[in-house]
């Protein structure tokens, strides 16, 4: 009811359209959800002996026992060994002013000041000169300066000077596509720039690349996905570029905060720049980073601790902050916007923690404020602007703006975060932007902040916001069993090692194992009786894996990235590919055999088939082409090409192509990776432990950060929004600013200690135990075909959707969905696991 009453025709059509899309989606998934989730086929068993009840590190079987897992098909043809890939790196660009013997940078030469003037500035601002000289000396640097301090100059000036000396390029990795075009057009005329991102047409992209190759561009801006995709060789990947002088990672805090599960490509940015583009010098730029985040960033960028340049954490003086807790936050917001302090403002931005809230609050403001603000017939009271990924996947920041009619007169001004922010950083970014003249990227260009005093107000609820934010943290964690399944799929055993490794060598081998071994190294190892697998290309089909692990695609990719970035480089991620070849041959076996004479992959596939599987009649088969190419020692691309050519036959005389009637299609998007097939059970256990520990640590850190922020904000909050209605309270604002500065200095906001017992905003589990156990049993009996895990049950009680238990299906059952949001997730998981075990007996 809430959204229909105020919404007109177009929105209704949108709703119907969404419903239709939803139906189509679930028709496709029907077979999984109607008959219940497919039962896991992989057992919760030891890697070594296949028994339940222990992992392989405690396995009673002797180590020399053969691995009981099934092995791949034997090779039936002589194949060439794959040649290890040696990336051809572009030449490195030497520093413009080499550092002195002890690594010190030179005095700033006149040439640099001239270039500064050319860029339109008379003098450096604090922090700029030092950063510029470091980059010109080839020293990687991380620069943490507040928004508006002039960080962009620190890559613009070196880019200009490097390009003046020799044809070279500066790469800028920027996460915000909407900002990239603005950044390119906003550069000084002497600096030529281009950008490449997914929002461009092919023509625009080709024209940008042509300019880059012709060395007409000094700065190339890339999204992380474009960079990583290009390095992995996806279609439309980047061609050979001019040498790279240095790479700048803008909004570098994303390297540390966003990369996990949200944009996994960020995890690989530095590695790709180093290994595929030959970059030696990095510049990281960020406005908001705590000490631990900047340590993490510095490590990824290869910046020594002493080369992290941090400016003071200054919150603009024209910014008055206030925070209040209100029983009814919606009413508080309306009261606030009707007050004298806000009534005369031209526009207001409201940030919410949930996507659904923006729609609701936009409608609320439309109803309550139209008359109060007297906007006339063309005036628009509020509009919800979605921002961020699909619903339910993560916390979103949405803005609801109150706008006056007449597009050129619209000025978004103060920022009013309406809910508790997930971290001090999450709160400060919108606040700073309101105070510093920064406008939200979605606004049309030409809008801006006039520089007036403004007053962001946070309205905190009594703990409900915290519960919502906690849900997002729990949504990203996973079980040990899921991690184990992923490890099992990523490292299936192979038959290419010829000698068994002596048991006593096992520990030594696991100490230092590069994923790609050169043939000479392998030969040496083989002579010592230590034959080592060179690695195999594997395809892990995305959708089946997502269902089997009950993990979103991004979370799986993140775990695979962790393995690639591990010092032992357990695997190498390749470009995603369509892994299955579907082949339909109307002429049956005789035609297939005839075609196999000119198509080695088809010949190998036929040879691998057991005799009884080969029948007469028309053929329609599907096989894993990645596995086939790997078994032949071929690269995937030529194998696919050879199979595709089965569809045509060249005329012997004219050379024209004739249709053979054979249909070849590639299906099933898959993660593609290169991994060894001879890992010992002990090594696989090590990998599982490493991955699971990372997942758990991330969850605990995020929860602790949330708790600290919540406690700190509540410690200074007004009990109601009343005092915020009047003119800004300077003392209150100063306390809040100190709190935020403390967050970045990591004193722990408000100097609060973490407390034991139930989390803020949660009830004691003991008071609810009987009720919860009943609900769990009720849930298990309502869905008898499902194989629930403790985590799955806790997710349903907290209203967290997952691939196997989607909100669209389970959210409809209000008996369970979000029912116990006020209780600890871990405690719910524990109780659910106990009940599931009892239920199984
Ligand atoms: N040395 C300087 N002297 C005067 N103005 C400068 C100087 N350096 C930068 N500026 C100006 O400061 C403004 C803000 O600069 P810039 O956009 O680089 O800030 P920023 O730190 O990158 O902000 P954000 O964090 O929002 O990206 C720009 O208008 C820029 O021209």
pLDDT > 80? residue 510: no
pTM listed for this prediction: 0.71
For residue 146, the CA-to-ligand 1 centroid distance in Å is 10
**pLDDT tens string 549-587:** 999 998 999 999 999 989 899 999 888 889 999 998 888
Q: How many residues does the chain have?
A: 841
Position in ligand 1 atom list of the atom nearest CA 121: 3
pLDDT on residue 355? 72
Residue 377: band (very low, low, confident or very high) from pLDDT cuts 50, 70, 90: low
pLDDT > 60? residue 751: no
Q: Say if CB 354 and CB 468 are below 8 A apart.
A: yes
**pLDDT tens string 7-49:** 444 444 666 767 777 766 666 554 443 333 333 333 455 665 5
pLDDT > 90? residue 241: no
pLDDT > 60? residue 812: yes
Of 116, 131, 143, 148, the residue with max ligand 1 atoms within 8 A of its CB, to mutate for a pocket test, comes to 148
**pLDDT tens string 133-173:** 999 999 999 998 887 888 999 999 999 999 998 889 999 99
**Among the ranges given (342-351, 519-528, 745-754), the one the predictor scored with the smallest mean pLDDT:** 745-754
Residue 618: band (very low, low, confident or very high) from pLDDT cuts 50, 70, 90: low
Tell me the average pLDDT across 395-403.
32
Going by the DSSP 8-state scheme, the letter that residue 319 receives in this structure is: B
pLDDT > 60? residue 404: no
The number of helices, as runs of H, and strands, as runs of E, in the chain is 31, 19
pLDDT > 90? residue 110: yes
For residue 147, the CA-to-ligand 1 centroid distance in Å is 8
**Among the ranges given (106-115, 305-314, 559-568, 827-836), the one the predictor scored with the smallest mean pLDDT:** 305-314
Of residues 529, 826, 484, the one with CA closest to residue 686:
484
558 vs 691: CA distance, rounded Å: 10
Query: Six-digit token pair at 423?
Result: 């971290």
Contacts of residues 25-29 at CB distance under 8 Å and 24 or more positions apart, as own/partner, are 26/808, 26/809
Query: Six-digit token pair at 373?
Result: 């603000």
- What's the CA angle centered on 76, arms 644 and 486, to 5 degrees? 70
**pLDDT tens string 671-694:** 999 999 889 899 999 999 999 999
444 vs 193: CA distance, rounded Å: 21
pLDDT on residue 42? 39
Q: Which residues contact 736 (CB under 8 A, 6 or more apart)?
A: 321, 322, 323, 716
Secondary-structure percent of the chain, ordered helix, strand, coil, rounded to 5: 45, 15, 40
pLDDT on residue 233? 57
Going by the DSSP 8-state scheme, the letter that residue 263 receives in this structure is: -
Q: Which residues contact 268 (CB under 8 A, 6 or more apart)?
A: 228, 561, 564, 565, 573
| Ligand 1 contact via 124 beta carbon (within 6 Å) | yes
Ligand 1, atom 3, lies closest to the CA of 121
Going by the DSSP 8-state scheme, the letter that residue 385 receives in this structure is: E
Of 129, 150, 284, 434, the residue with max ligand 1 atoms within 8 A of its CB, to mutate for a pocket test, comes to 150
- Residue in the structure block whose two tokens are 């030959």: 278
pLDDT > 50? residue 77: no
Specify which of 297-311, 380-394, 621-635 reaches the highest per-range mean pLDDT: 621-635
| Cα of 583 vs its chain's centroid, Å | 35
Query: Six-digit token pair at 48?
Result: 């070594």
Residue 58: band (very low, low, confident or very high) from pLDDT cuts 50, 70, 90: low
Ligand 1, atom 4, lies closest to the CA of 121
**Among the ranges given (473-487, 516-530, 550-564), the one the predictor scored with the smallest mean pLDDT:** 516-530
Phi and psi at residue 828, to the nearest 5°: -65, -40
Going by the DSSP 8-state scheme, the letter that residue 316 receives in this structure is: -
| Ligand 1 contact via 438 beta carbon (within 6 Å) | yes
Q: Say if CB 367 and CB 6 are below 8 A apart.
A: yes
pLDDT on residue 545? 94
Q: Say if CB 382 and CB 365 are below 8 A apart.
A: yes
For residue 184, the CA-to-ligand 1 centroid distance in Å is 14
**Among the ranges given (219-228, 726-735, 781-790), the one the predictor scored with the smallest mean pLDDT:** 726-735
834 vs 625: CA distance, rounded Å: 43
pLDDT on residue 129? 94
The better pLDDT of the pair 231, 3 is held by 231
pLDDT on residue 65? 36
pLDDT on residue 8? 44
726 vs 39: CA distance, rounded Å: 61
pLDDT on residue 352? 75
Going by their DSSP bridges, the two strands 663-675 and 536-541 should be labelled as: antiparallel
Ligand 1, atom 8, lies closest to the CA of 150
Residue 810: band (very low, low, confident or very high) from pLDDT cuts 50, 70, 90: very high
- What's the CA angle centered on 733, arms 732 and 734, to 5 degrees? 90
Task: Please state the three-class secondary structure of 74-134 as a single string.
Answer: CCCCCCCCCCCCCCCCCCCCCCCCCCCCCCCCCCCCHHHHHHHHHCCCCCCCCCHHHHHHH
Going by their DSSP bridges, the two strands 619-624 and 572-585 should be labelled as: antiparallel
Residue 307: band (very low, low, confident or very high) from pLDDT cuts 50, 70, 90: confident
**pLDDT tens string 647-657:** 988 777 777 77
Q: Say if CB 823 and CB 813 are below 8 A apart.
A: no
Query: Six-digit token pair at 334?
Result: 């309306």
Specify which of 510-519, 720-729, 758-767 reaches the highest per-range mean pLDDT: 720-729
Residue 608: band (very low, low, confident or very high) from pLDDT cuts 50, 70, 90: confident
371 vs 813: CA distance, rounded Å: 39
596 vs 592: CA distance, rounded Å: 6
pLDDT > 50? residue 63: no
Q: Cα–Cα distances in Å, from 152 out to 100, 149, 248, 364?
A: 26, 9, 10, 40
């Amino acid at each position: 009811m809430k959204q229909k009453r105020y919404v007109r025709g177009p929105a209704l059509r949108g709703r119907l359209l969404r419903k239709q899309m939803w139906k189509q989606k679930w028709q496709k998934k029907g077979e999984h959800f109607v008959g219940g989730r497919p039962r896991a086929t992989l057992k919760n068993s030891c890697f070594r002996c296949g028994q339940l009840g222990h992992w392989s590190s405690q396995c009673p079987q002797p180590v020399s026992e053969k691995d009981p897992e099934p092995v791949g098909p034997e090779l039936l043809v002589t194949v060439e060994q794959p040649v290890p890939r040696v990336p051809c790196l572009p030449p490195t660009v030497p520093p413009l002013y080499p550092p002195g013997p002890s690594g010190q940078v030179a005095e700033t030469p006149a040439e640099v000041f001239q270039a500064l003037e050319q860029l339109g500035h008379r003098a450096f601002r604090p922090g700029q000169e030092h950063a510029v000289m470091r980059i010109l000396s080839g020293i990687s640097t991380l620069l943490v300066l507040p928004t508006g301090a002039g960080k962009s100059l620190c890559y613009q000036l070196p880019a200009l000077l490097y390009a003046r000396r020799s044809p070279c390029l500066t790469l800028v990795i920027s996460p915000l596509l909407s900002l990239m075009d603005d950044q390119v057009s906003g550069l000084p005329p002497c600096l030529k720039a281009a950008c490449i991102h997914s929002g461009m047409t092919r023509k625009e992209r080709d024209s940008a690349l042509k300019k880059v190759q012709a060395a007409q561009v000094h700065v190339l801006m890339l999204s992380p996905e474009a960079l990583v995709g290009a390095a992995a060789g996806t279609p439309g990947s980047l061609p050979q570029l001019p040498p790279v002088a240095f790479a700048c990672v803008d909004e570098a805090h994303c390297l540390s905060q966003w990369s996990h599960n949200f944009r996994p490509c960020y995890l690989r940015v530095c590695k790709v720049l180093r290994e595929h583009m030959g970059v030696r010098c990095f510049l990281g730029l960020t406005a908001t980073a705590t000490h631990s985040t900047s340590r993490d960033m510095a490590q990824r960028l290869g910046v020594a601790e002493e080369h992290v340049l941090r400016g003071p954490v200054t919150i603009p003086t024209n910014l008055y902050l206030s925070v209040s807790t209100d029983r009814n936050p919606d009413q508080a917001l309306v009261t606030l916007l009707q007050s004298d302090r806000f009534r005369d403002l031209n526009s207001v931005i409201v940030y919410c923690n949930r996507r659904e809230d923006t729609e609701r609050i936009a409608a609320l403001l439309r109803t309550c404020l139209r008359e109060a603000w007297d906007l006339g017939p063309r005036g628009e009271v509020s509009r919800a602007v979605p921002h961020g990924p699909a619903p339910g996947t993560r916390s979103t920041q949405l803005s609801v703006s109150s706008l006056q009619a007449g597009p050129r007169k619209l000025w978004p001004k103060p920022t009013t975060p309406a809910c508790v922010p997930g971290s001090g950083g999450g709160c400060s970014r919108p606040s700073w932007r309101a105070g510093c003249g920064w406008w939200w990227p979605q606004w049309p260009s030409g809008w801006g902040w006039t520089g007036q005093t403004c007053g962001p107000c946070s309205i905190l609820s009594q703990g409900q916001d915290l519960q919502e934010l906690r849900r997002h943290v729990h949504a990203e964690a996973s079980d040990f069993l899921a991690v184990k399944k992923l490890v099992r799929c990523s490292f299936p055993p192979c038959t290419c090692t010829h000698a068994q490794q002596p048991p006593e060598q096992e520990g030594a081998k696991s100490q230092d194992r590069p994923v790609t071994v050169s043939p000479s190294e392998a030969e040496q190892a083989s002579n010592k009786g230590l034959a080592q697998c060179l690695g195999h290309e594997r395809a892990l089909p995305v959708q089946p894996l997502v269902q089997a692990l009950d993990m979103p695609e991004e979370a799986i990719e993140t775990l695979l990235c962790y393995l690639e970035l591990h010092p032992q480089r357990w695997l190498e991620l390749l470009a995603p590919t369509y892994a299955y070849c579907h082949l339909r041959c109307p002429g049956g076996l005789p035609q297939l055999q005839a075609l196999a004479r000119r198509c080695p992959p088809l010949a190998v596939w036929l040879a691998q088939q057991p005799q009884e599987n080969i029948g007469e009649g028309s053929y329609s088969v599907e096989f894993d082409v990645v596995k086939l190419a790997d078994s032949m020692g071929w690269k995937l691309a030529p194998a696919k090409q050879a199979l595709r050519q089965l569809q045509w036959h060249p005329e012997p005389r004219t050379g024209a192509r004739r249709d053979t009637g054979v249909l070849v299609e590639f299906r099933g998007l898959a993660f593609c990776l290169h991994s060894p097939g001879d890992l010992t059970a002990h090594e696989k256990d090590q990998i599982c432990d490493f991955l699971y520990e990372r997942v758990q640590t991330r969850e605990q850190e995020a929860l602790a950060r949330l708790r600290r922020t919540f406690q700190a904000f509540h410690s200074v909050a007004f009990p109601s929004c009343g005092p915020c209605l009047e003119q800004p309270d300077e003392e209150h604002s100063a306390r809040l600013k100190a709190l935020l500065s403390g967050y970045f200095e990591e004193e722990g906001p408000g100097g609060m200690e973490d407390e034991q017992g139930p989390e803020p905003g949660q009830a004691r589990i003991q008071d609810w135990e009987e009720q919860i156990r009943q609900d769990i049993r009720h849930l298990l009996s309502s869905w008898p075909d499902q194989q629930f895990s403790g985590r799955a049950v806790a997710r349903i009680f907290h209203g967290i959707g997952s691939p196997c238990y989607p909100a669209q299906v389970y959210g409809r059952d209000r008996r369970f969905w979000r029912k116990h949001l006020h209780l600890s997730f871990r405690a719910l998981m524990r109780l659910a696991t106990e009940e599931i075990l009892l239920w199984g007996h």
